[in-house]
Amino acid sequence: MDQENTQAAVKPEKKPIIFSGIQPSGTLTLGNYIGALRNWVTLQDQYDCIYCIVDEHAITVRQNPAELRRRCLELAAIYIASGIDPARSLIYCQSHVSAHAELAWILNCFTYMGELSRMTQFKAKSAAHADNINAGLFTYPVLMAADILLYQTNLVPVGVDQKQHLEICRDIAMRFNGVYGDVFTIPEGYIPKTGAKIMSLQEPQKKMSKSDPEETYIAILDEPDAIRRKIKRAVTDSDGEIRFDPENKPGVSNLLSIISALGGGEINAVCAELQGQGYGKLKERATDCVIAALDPLHAEFKRLIADKGYLQGVIDENAEKAAYLANKTLRKVQKKVGFAARGERK
C-alpha cells in the first residue's frame, strides 16, 4: 500500500452531526431527562455530537443573573453526570460562541413575521409572561435555527414540543439555500418513541416544564423522598382502572409513559401486570423506576459540581472547538449575502 492509501485507510470516517440544547432556565426535570438528555447519551456512538447550554435562549424570560450563571455550570455537570463524554461530544455555552448571535441576525432577515406568529411556544410564553413580551421571545426560533445550521447538523434530538421550531428551521434553511445555493445542511428531527412528552404531575394535560411550580415536576436532582412525595400526590382520576388513554386518563397514562420510558416494560405489559391493583401500586412502580434511573446520576453530579475548575475547563475548551466549526459556516454565509471581505492586515 502506498503512503497516500495508508493515510486514507486510517482517516477516521466522518460521522453525521447531532446538535441539541437545553436552556439553563430552571432545575432540569424528568421531562428534560426522558425527552432529551438520556437519548443524547446513546447517540454519541454513531454521531459527532454537540450539546449546547443555550443561555441566550434562557434570557427571553427574565433571569436572575447570579442564578443563571450558577445554572450554566450545573447544567454542564448534569450533561456529564448523565453520561455525555466531554472528550467525545462538545459541551459549551451558547453565549461563548458569538457566531450563534451573528448568524441569528442574518437569518432574521430570511424569516417572516407571519411564520413566527404561528409558533405555539411563543403564544404560550407570551401568555405566561404578559408583562415581558420581548422581541427575543418572538425571534427565539431564529436563534434556534442558527444554533442548528451553524454546525451543518444532520439530526436534532428533541422532545415533541420542539417539532414546530424544527420545521421553521428547515424552512429558513431551504429558503436561504434556494437563493444562495447549498450553504446549509437540512436537518432532521429525532423524536423519541416513548417519553417525547412527559406531562405535569399536577395538570397532566400540560407538559412537565421546569419553569412551572415545584410540585408539578420531578427535578433530575430531587432526592428519593421528594420523588416519592411528588408521585404520591400526582393527579390521577377516579375510575381506578390502569389503562393507557392520554385523552381521557392523562394522569395515569403519564405514569405509564414514565415507567415504560425508564425501562419498566412495554406499556401494555405494565397495564396487564398491574391490572386491578389500584393507583397506589402504579405510583409505587413509577417511583421505583424514577429513583433507579436518577440515583446513579446524583452521586456523579455531586462529585463534578465540587470541581468547578474542571467544569470551567470543559466549557472553555469546547467553546473554542465549537467556535472553529461555527465560524466556517458563518464566514460562508457572510460571503454569500455580500458582506465585505475581511482583509488580512499585514
Catalytic residue IDs? 125, 207, 210
SS3 of residue 199 by DSSP: strand
Q: Contact between 139 and ligand ATP (CB under 6 A)? A: no
Q: How far is the CB of 318 from ligand LTN (least distance, A)?
A: 16
Which residues contact ligand LTN (rule: CB under 6 A)?
Answer: 19-21, 23, 54, 57, 144, 147-148, 156, 158, 162, 165
Q: What is the DSSP pairing of strand 48-53 with strand 90-93?
A: parallel
Q: Which three cell numbers stand for residue 200?
A: 405535569
- Measured CA to CA, the distance from residue 334 to residue 338 in angstroms comes to 6
38 vs 285, beta carbon nearer ligand ATP: 38
Residues β-bridged to residue 156: 189
- Measured CA to CA, the distance from residue 282 to residue 240 in angstroms comes to 11
Select from ligand LTN, ligand ATP, none the partner in contact with residue 156, using the beta carbon and a kind-dependent cut-off of 5 to 8 Å: ligand LTN
165 vs 197, beta carbon nearer ligand LTN: 165
Q: Contact between 257 and ligand ATP (CB under 6 A)? A: no
Q: How far is the CB of 211 from ligand ATP (least distance, A)?
A: 4
Residues in contact with ligand ATP, shown as a per-residue x/- string from 199 to 218 under the rule CB under 6 A: --------xxxxx-------
149 vs 166, beta carbon nearer ligand ATP: 166
Q: Which pairs with CB-CB distance under 8 Å and at least 24 residues apart come from 126-135?
A: 128/211, 129/61, 129/62, 132/61, 132/62, 134/60
Helices (H) and strands (E) in the chain, counts: 15, 5
Grid cell 417572516 — which residue? 112
Which stretches of the chain are assigned E, i.e. beta strand?
17-22, 48-53, 90-93, 155-157, 188-190
Q: How far is the CB of 273 from ligand ATP (least distance, A)?
A: 24
170 vs 176, beta carbon nearer ligand ATP: 170
Contacts for 304 with CB less than 8 Å, ≥ 6 apart: 77, 80, 81, 310, 311
Q: Which three cell numbers stand for residue 72?
A: 450554566
Q: How far is the CB of 195 from ligand ATP (least distance, A)?
A: 6
Select from ligand LTN, ligand ATP, none the partner in contact with residue 318, using the beta carbon and a kind-dependent cut-off of 5 to 8 Å: none
- Measured CA to CA, the distance from residue 99 to residue 146 in angstroms comes to 9
Residue list 31-50, contact with ligand ATP (CB under 6 A): 31-32, 34-36
Q: Contact between 161 and ligand ATP (CB under 6 A)? A: yes
Q: Are 294 and 266 in contact (CB under 8 A)?
A: no
Select from ligand ATP, ligand LTN, none the partner in contact with residue 236, using the beta carbon and a kind-dependent cut-off of 5 to 8 Å: none
Q: How far is the CB of 326 from ligand LTN (least distance, A)?
A: 13
Q: Which of 81, 144, 158, 172 binds ligand ATP (CB under 6 A)?
A: 158
Q: How far is the CB of 54 from ligand LTN (least distance, A)?
A: 4
Rg, Å, the chain Cα set: 22
124 vs 274, beta carbon nearer ligand LTN: 124
Q: Which residues bind ligand ATP (CB under 6 A)?
A: 22-23, 25-26, 29, 31-32, 34-36, 158-159, 161-162, 196-198, 207-211
